[in-house]
Homo-oligomer: A and B are copies of this chain.
Amino acid sequence: MTEGSLIFPPAIVLSHTQMGENIGSAARAMKNFGLGELILIAPKCGWPNDRAQMLASGAADIIEAAQVFDTTEAALAPYSLVLATTARGRDVVKEIYTPQAAARHLRATAKAGARTAILFGNERAGLTNEEMSLADGVITIPTADFWSLNLAQAVLVTAYEWLKSADATPATRIRATVAVPATRHELTGLFEHLERELDAAEFLFPPAKRETMVRNIRAMIMRSRLSDQEVRTIRGMIVALVRNKYRGKQNKNGDQDG
């Protein structure tokens, strides 16, 4: 979100919403993912609305700043790109976006300096055909067969994809703040220590297979991406195990090898 201050995130436009709870939950979802502009078209639940304020919890600022319009035309007037969400197909030929593709399109448009909006219909009836005709395209959220999201869930998914479209978090990572990954030198020290002891234990046997066995063991250890501390811990374990073995030998004078 380094560019957050430079572009307008999309407005969330809720049309003819019936339940204040849904507006409050939608505001909370927005806040979680960095959206702030809430537009209401003729809310059926009445406005201002106590239930909306209660459900918004930490997103009261979004509820307070919400703008209310009588008509969809007036509400959508400032926006250059409007995508309408719909659960089912409509008899209208418009580009249909996945939430992810929609987020990319919205962000590209916002980066060009334009204001954008995502339009959500009434809980029961969805968007009217006239409202659909005012949208540049349609977002359909994939769900399991015969299911559809409620209003706040749909806002959550589109808002999540909006944040994700700018998020530079790598797909997987190891948290590096609490543990320094081991250096190659430290790993080599571990490998040589371990192999020395395994040789001594005649584990790496027969000699013809030694190289392959060593390579597989090293690969297995490398995959776990040890920290320096963990390398020290493992070396300590090896020292401890070996020491115990010799002690066992001394005590019992038995033959543990092989």
Q: Name A residues whose Cβ lies closer than 8 Å to a Cβ of B.
A: 1, 28-29, 31-34, 58, 89-98, 100-101, 137, 140-145, 147-150, 153, 156-157, 160, 163-164, 167, 169-175, 177-179, 225, 227, 230
Contact = CB atoms under 8 A, between A and B. Distances in A.
Most buried by B among A90, A96, A160, A179: A160
Contacts of A92: 175, 178
Nearest to A4: B144
Nearest to A177: B89
Contacts of A32: 143-144, 147-149, 153
Nearest to A230: B93
Nearest to A105: B172
Contacts of A172: 95-98, 101, 137
A56 to B, nearest CB: 12
Contacts of A91: 178
A97 B169 CA distance: 9
8 contacts: A32-B149, A91-B178, A92-B175, A96-B173, A98-B167, A101-B172, A142-B167, A160-B160
A89 B164 contact: no
Given A95-B173, A96-B174, 8 more contacts: A32-B144, A32-B149, A58-B147, A92-B175, A94-B174, A95-B172, A97-B172, A153-B156
